Structure 1
Amino acid sequence: MYMSLKRLLIGKPLKTRELGEQRLNKSKALAILSSDALSSVAYGPEQVLIVLATIGFTAFWYSLPIALGILILLIALIFSYRQIIYAYPHGGGAYVVSKTNLGEKFGLIAGGSLLVDYILTVSVSVSAGTDAITSAFPALHQHNVAIACVLVIFITVLNLRGVTESATILSYPVYLFVLGLFIMIGVGLFNIATGHAPAHAHPPVGTYVSGVSLFLLLKAFTSGCSALTGVEAVSNAIPNFQEPAAKNAARTLMMMGLLLAILFSGITFLAYWYGISPRGEETVVSQIASDTFGRGTLYYFIQVTTAMILVLAANTGFSAFPLLAVNLATDKYLPRMFSIRGDRLGYSNGIIILSVLSIILIVAFQGKTENLIPLYAVGVFIPFTLSQTGMILKWIREKPKGWKHRFLINLLGALITLLVVFILFTTKFTQVWPVLIFMPLIVLMFLRIKSHYDAVGDQLRIYESEASQPIKGNIVVVPVAGITKVVENSLAYAESIGDEVIAIYVAFDRESERKMEEKWKKWKPELRLFTFVSQYRSLIRPMGRVIDLIEEKADKHNYQVTVLIPQFITKKSWHYILHNQSGVLLRTYLLYRKNVIVTTVPYLFKK
C-alpha cells in the first residue's frame, strides 16, 4: 500500500546514470532559482509603504529614493555573486566562500544563516501566496494557516518527483507572472503618459513631511531589502546546471537581476503614482491591478499568477536548501543522510526536513508574513556580508589579473550589506533578536556533529600498532522463555556457530524454576541451563548479571560472547501488540555492551 502510494505521488525510481538528464538549462533554472527573488516584488515595495505609512500618506514619495538605493544594492550583489560563481564553480555560495577565506566559524555562520533563510523562504513565500489568494477571495481569510500548510505539502511532493520535472511544471507560472506584471506595468505607464491615470493621487516628490527621521527611512529601506532575498540561490545551485555550469549560472543570475530590477522599479513607481496605501485585507499588487484593469479578467490573471509564484517561490528554498545541506554534510557538519540521493535522484531527506520545519514556522507565526520578513532579511544579509568579505580577502591574497576592479565590486557589496545588517539590528531589534540566540546554537550543533564524526573516524581507523587479538572461540548465550519451536530453532543455530552454548531462564517464582529444570533435563540434557528467580519480576537485570560472569570467563580465554535472542515474527504486524516484547528490550540493553555481540534468530509464523 505504502509503496503504491509512493509511486503514484513521486514516480518510479531513476537510475544513477540518469543523473545527467536531471540538470537544468537556463530557462528552467531561471524559473526555479529566481522565483524567490522575482516573487519578492509582490511584497517588497509593500513593506516599504507599511513603514512609511506610520508617518502618513505624504511620506509615500520617499519610496522612490528608497527604491533607488535598493536597486544600487541589487546591482552590487548581482556582480558580486557573478564573481563567486566563476571563483567557486562547484557551488556552495556564501558557505564555501566564507569557510575558505574567513575560516571555519564564519563559514558555519554563513551556512547556518542560509539554511534558516531557506526555511524562511518557504514560510514567507507560501504565507504571502496565501495572502494573495485570500485577497481575491476574502471568505478564505480564516483558513490562511491550513491553506499554507497544504501548499507546502504540494510543493514538497513536486520536488520529490525530481529537479527537471518540478522545473518543467514551475516554469509556466513564473513566466506567466513576469508576463502579467510586464503587462500591468506597461499599461500603467501608458495610462500615466496619456493622462488616463489620476495625476494628483500622490504626494509630490520633495514634499516636506513632519516627523520623518533618518531612523524611519533606514527602517523602510531594510524592509524593502526583503526583495533581494533569493539572489544568492543561483550560486548555491551551480551543480544543477547543464554544462558549462558556471557560465550558464552566471547568465541566469544576470537575467534574474535584470527582471527583478524592472519589476521592483515598476511596481514601486505605480504604487506611488496611484497613491496606494497598504491594507491588511488587500495587497499592494492587488490594488495596482485593480486601478489599472478594474476587477476584470486581467485583474484575476495578475492575482492568480502572483499567488502561484509566491507559493512556488518556495521552490527556491527546496532547490537550494538540499544542496547547501549536502555541502555541510560532506564537511561533516550535518548528518550524512543529507548527502544521500532519493529514488528520483534528488536529495529527498533535505527536502522533507525543509518541509517539516517550514510548516512548523507557518503554524507558529499563524501565517503572518510581516512577522517573518525581518528574520528572513537578517538570515540572508549576514551571508551576503560574509561572502563579500571573503571574496575581498581572496583577491588581496591571490591578486589574479584584473583583481582590482573585482576587489572594488566586492568591497562595495560588503560595505552596503554590512550597513543593512547594522540597520536591521538597530531598527528592528525587537523582531530580529532571536538570531542572536539560534545562530550560536546552530553553529554549536554543527561543531558537535563534526566532533562526533571525527571521533567515530578515529575509532574506526586501523592502526598498525593496535593489532587485534585473534578470537579463539565463541560462547553463545540463548535466553529462553520456555520449550517451544522458536527456542528449538534458536538453539540449533547456536550449536552451529558456538563452541559452547548456554541457555538462560529467568523465573518469577521457585515452582516455575523447578518445573523448567525438570523439563529441560528430559528435553536437552546435553545443553547447560542457568535458571534464576527474579524477585522483582525483571528479566533484564538477572540476565545482565549472568552475561557479566560469562563475559569475564570469555575474556580470560580470549573467547567471544554472542547473545542469540529468539524472535518469532507474526504474520500480521498488528499481532505484535498482543505479545510481550522482552526480546526487544533485552537487545536494546545489550547493544551498549562493548564486548557482546547481539543477534536475533527469527521464526516466521504462517498464520
Structure 2
Amino acid sequence: MPKVSDLVKRVLLGRALRSTQLHEQLLPKRIALPIFASDPLSSVAYAPQELLMMLAIAGVSFYSFGPWIAVAIVLLMAVVVASYRQNVHAYPSGGGDYEVATVNLGPNAGLTVASALLVDYVLTVAVSVSSGVENIGSAIPWIGHNRVGIALAIIVLLTVINLRGVRESGTFFAIPTYAFVVGVLCMIVVGLFRLGVLGDELTAPTADLEIRAEQTDLAGFAVLFLLLRAFSSGCAALTGVEAISNGVPAFRKPKSRNAATTLLMMGVIAVTMFCGVIALALQSHVRVAEVPAEQLVRDGRPVGDGYVQEPILTQVASAVFGDGSLPFLYIAGVTALILFLAANTAYNGFPVLGSILARDGYLPRQLHTRGDRLAFSNGIIILATAAGLLVYAFQAEVTRLIQLYIVGVFVSFTLSQIGMVRHWNRRLATETDPAARRHMRRSRAINAVGGSTTGFVLVVVLITKFTHGAYIVCLAMPLLFLLMKSIRRHYDRVAEELVPSGEDVVLPARNHAIVLVSKLHKPTLRALAYARATRPSTLEAVTVGVDAAESARLREEWEALDLPVQLKTLDSPYREITRPVLEYVKSVRRKSPRDVVTVFLPEYVVGHWWENLLHNQSALRLKTRLLFLPGVMVTSVPWQLASSDRLKGRPEPEGPGAVRRPLRETPRGLPGQDGGREGAPAGGGIVSDRD
C-alpha cells in the first residue's frame, strides 16, 4: 500500500511528470502574460494610492502634481520595457539581469543583481498578499482583524499551486488576471465616457473629507524632496517587469520573440491602467492619507482610529459604478484576487534565478533540482518561507512593507542596462555589416537611456526611502551577497580537494575489519558473515563493556557458538559507547597509517515511525562520528524487521539478498539461530538499531 504521505502529495500536487515532458510545460503568450506580468499589472491597485498618499503629506493642493508624476512614471516604464526587450533578444537563456551583469560587468556585479532580485522577489510575495488581505479586510472586518493568519494561509495556498507545475499554475492564474484587466479597463472607459461625453460628475466616497497637511511650510528643497518621494512610491508600478527576461526559457519557440511581445503587451496594459486610475481618482476627488486617522478630517475633526481607509480602486469603482453595485463588487473581488495572484510573478522568478545561481555554485545544489511536477520545488518552498516570515514580522501591514520595496528592482535595472551597453560595445567592435551596426547602435542608445534613468531613480529611491525602512534591504542585500560568495568558496574548495592525483589510485596496504557487537543476534551474525565475505586482511568483533555481568554472558555465548572471529571487549567505566569505539579505531589507524579500517555496523530497519521511539539511535550517532575519521570506512549492514516488509506489502525475501532469514555457512560457518535476547537491554553496550 502507498504511504499516506505519498497519497496526500499526489492529491495536492498531482502525478509526477517525466523529464521528457518538460516541453509540455512551455507557455504560449496568452498564458505567459498572466504568469509573468501579474505583479506589474496588479500594482495599479496600490502604486497610484502610494503616490497620492505621499502628496497628501502637504495637503490636497499637492494632488495637482499627481498627473505630472504619473507622466514621469509612464515614461520610465516605457524606457524600462524598451530596454528589457533588448535583453530578451540578446540573452534568451533565462539568466536575465544576473546573466547580463555577470557576463558584461563581472561576477561581483552579477551577485549584486542576484541578491537584489532575490530580496525583492520575497518582498513581492509579502506586499502582494498583504495588500490583497487589506483589500478584503476593508469589506470583511473579521479578515482585517486576522490579516496575518489569512495572509500566511494564502501564501501556503499559492505555494501548493505553484508546486503543481508552471503550466498548471499559469492556467489557474490566467482567468483571474484577465478578469482584473478587463474589469479595470472597462471601469476606465465608462468613467471617461461619463466625464467626457455625458458630463457627469464623479464623486468618490471620500470626496467630502479634507486632508490635514502634516507639513504646511514646505518650500524649495523640501517640496522637491516630497515630490521625489511620491515619485519613488509610485515607481512600485514597475516591479516585476524584469521577470519576463528571467523566464524566457519557459516560453514556446521562438522564445525571444514571444517574450519580447509579451513584455510589450504587459507594458501597454500596465501604463493604460495606471494612467486611467490616476485620472479617475483625481477627477472623483479621492482622498487617501498615510495616517488616515489623523490626516483625514470630516466636519473639522479627524476621522479617528475607527476609520478604515478604502483602497483607491474600490473608491474609483464606487464613483464610476455606484457603491454596492454589481460592477463595483466585481472590481472589488477581482482586485483582491489579483493581488493574491500577483505573488505568482515571484514564484516563477525566484526559483528560476535560484536554480541558475545553484548551477553556478552560489546557492545550495538542491535549488537546481526539479521536483515531481518539473518545478523548482525547493526554491518555491524557500520563497514561501521567507515571505511568510516577513508577513509575520511586519504584521501584514502594506504601508510598512512597501517602504522596503523596489530598491532591489532598481539595483537590478541599473546594473543590467549598464551591462547591456557594454554588450553592444563589444559586439560593435567586431561587427562589419552596416545594417547590423545600425541596429546595435539603436539598441545601445535605448539601454544607455534606460541605465541612466533607472540609476537616477535608484538614487531617488534610496534617499527618500532609506530612513523609512529601505535600510533593511540595504543591509539584507550585502549579507546575502556575502553568503553566496562563501557558498561558492566552499564548493570551489571541495572541488579542489576532490581533484584526482597519482596517490589516490594506490591500494591500501591492508584492510582491518571491525564488526561492532551489542548482543549475539541475527543482525550481528549477518554482519559477521558479510564482513568475512569481503575477505579483509584482519577481522575482529568489538563490543563495549558497560556492565560486567552482561559482557561476561555475551562472551560465554560467543565461545559456545565457536565463532571463527575474535571478540574484543572495550572497557567503559563511565558507560560511554561512542568514545571507546572511536579511541580504539584511532589506535588501529595510528599503528598502521597506510592501512584502512572498515567498521561494520549491524542496524535494524523498522517499518513504522513510532517504532523508532522504541529503539535508540546509538548506531546512527556512532556512524556520524566515524565518518569524520580519515582512513575509516563505515559499512551499514541492515536487518529489515517484519514490520518493514508488511508495511510495504513485500513477500518473504528470497535469494542471496534476503536478510530476513538467518545466514548459514559451512564448515566453520555461522549457525542460523538467534543468540541473545531480543529486546533486552544492550549489556554489550552498542545498540545497533535505527530506522
Q: TM-score, normalised by structure 2?
A: 0.84
Q: How far 1:451 moved relative to its partner?
A: 1.1
Q: How far 1:307 moved relative to its partner?
A: 0.9
Deviations 1:353-400 (A, max 9, x none): 111111111111111112122222101111011101111222223225
Native 8 Å contact 1:117 1:376 kept in 2? yes
**One of 391, 397, 417 as aligned partner of 1:368:** 397
Deviations 1:220-249 (A, max 9, x none): 000000111011110000000000000000
Matched, 1:284 2:288: no
Q: How far 1:139 moved relative to its partner?
A: 3.2
- 2:619 aligns with 583
**One of 530, 533, 544 as aligned partner of 2:568:** 530
Deviations 1:16-41 (A, max 9, x none): 11111110001100111000000001
- 1:263 aligns with 273
Greater Cα shift, 493-502 or 164-173: 493-502
Q: Secondary structure at the match of 1:562?
A: strand
- 1:493 aligns with 530
Larger helix proportion of the pair: 1
Which runs of no fewer than 5 residues in structure 2 stay unpaired?
Answer: 210-215, 293-307, 432-436, 644-691
Which runs of no fewer than 5 residues in structure 1 stay unpaired?
Answer: 204-208
Greater Cα shift, 420-429 or 276-285: 276-285
Q: Secondary structure at the match of 2:93?
A: coil
| Residues 576/117 of structure 1: CA separation in 2 closer, same or farther (3 Å cut) | same
Distance 1:18 1:482 in 2: 52
Distance 1:234 1:549 in 2: 61
Q: Secondary structure at the match of 1:495?
A: helix
- 2:512 aligns with 475
Q: Secondary structure at the match of 1:410?
A: helix
Native 8 Å contact 1:475 1:554 kept in 2? no
- 2:656 aligns with none
Q: How far 1:135 moved relative to its partner?
A: 2.0
Distance 2:581 2:243 in 1: 57
Matched, 1:544 2:582: yes
Deviations 1:507-538 (A, max 9, x none): 12444443433332223453111112212111
**One of 34, 37, 47 as aligned partner of 2:37:** 34
| Residues 440/60 of structure 1: CA separation in 2 closer, same or farther (3 Å cut) | same
Matched, 1:424 2:427: no
Partner AA of 1:603 in structure 2: W
Partner AA of 1:481 in structure 2: S
**One of 385, 406, 418 as aligned partner of 1:356:** 385
Deviations 1:284-309 (A, max 9, x none): 11111111111111111001111111
| Residues 447/289 of structure 1: CA separation in 2 closer, same or farther (3 Å cut) | same
Greater Cα shift, 135-144 or 540-549: 135-144
- 1:195 aligns with 199
- 2:143 aligns with 140
Distance 1:159 1:512 in 2: 57
Distance 1:199 1:489 in 2: 86
**One of 602, 617, 639 as aligned partner of 1:566:** 602
Native 8 Å contact 2:155 2:384 kept in 1? yes
Distance 1:567 1:312 in 2: 49
Matched, 1:211 2:218: yes
> What are the within-5 Å matches in structure 2 for residues 286-301 of structure 1?
286-294=314-322, 295-301=324-330
Matched, 1:406 2:443: yes
Q: How far 1:460 moved relative to its partner?
A: 2.1
Q: How far 1:12 moved relative to its partner?
A: 0.5
Q: How far 1:473 moved relative to its partner?
A: 4.1
- 2:83 aligns with 80
- 2:245 aligns with 235
- 2:682 aligns with none
Deviations 1:186-239 (A, max 9, x none): 111112112212599699xxxxx8626000000000000011101111000000
Distance 1:113 1:561 in 2: 49
How many residues are treated as equivalent by the alignment?
599
Q: CA RMSD in A?
A: 1.8
Please tell me whether Structure 1 or Structure 2 has the larger radius of gyration of its CA atoms.
Answer: 2
Deviations 1:247-304 (A, max 9, x none): 0000000000000110000001111111101255310111111111111111110011
Q: Secondary structure at the match of 2:371?
A: coil
Native 8 Å contact 2:133 2:143 kept in 1? no
- 1:394 aligns with 423
| Residues 311/199 of structure 1: CA separation in 2 closer, same or farther (3 Å cut) | closer
Partner AA of 1:428 in structure 2: K
Distance 1:127 1:246 in 2: 34
**One of 543, 558, 583 as aligned partner of 1:505:** 543
Distance 1:328 1:95 in 2: 9
Native 8 Å contact 1:513 1:532 kept in 2? no
Native 8 Å contact 2:404 2:473 kept in 1? yes
Distance 1:452 1:143 in 2: 43
Q: Secondary structure at the match of 1:136?
A: coil
- 2:631 aligns with 595
Distance 2:12 2:72 in 1: 45
Matched, 1:380 2:409: yes
Q: Secondary structure at the match of 1:256?
A: helix
Distance 1:198 1:284 in 2: 14
Partner AA of 2:585 in structure 1: I
**One of 473, 476, 481 as aligned partner of 1:435:** 473
Identify which of structures 1 and 2 has the higher relative contact order when contacts are C-alpha pairs closer than 8 Å and 6+ apart.
1
Distance 1:127 1:161 in 2: 23
- 1:450 aligns with 488
Matched, 1:253 2:290: no
Partner AA of 1:449 in structure 2: I
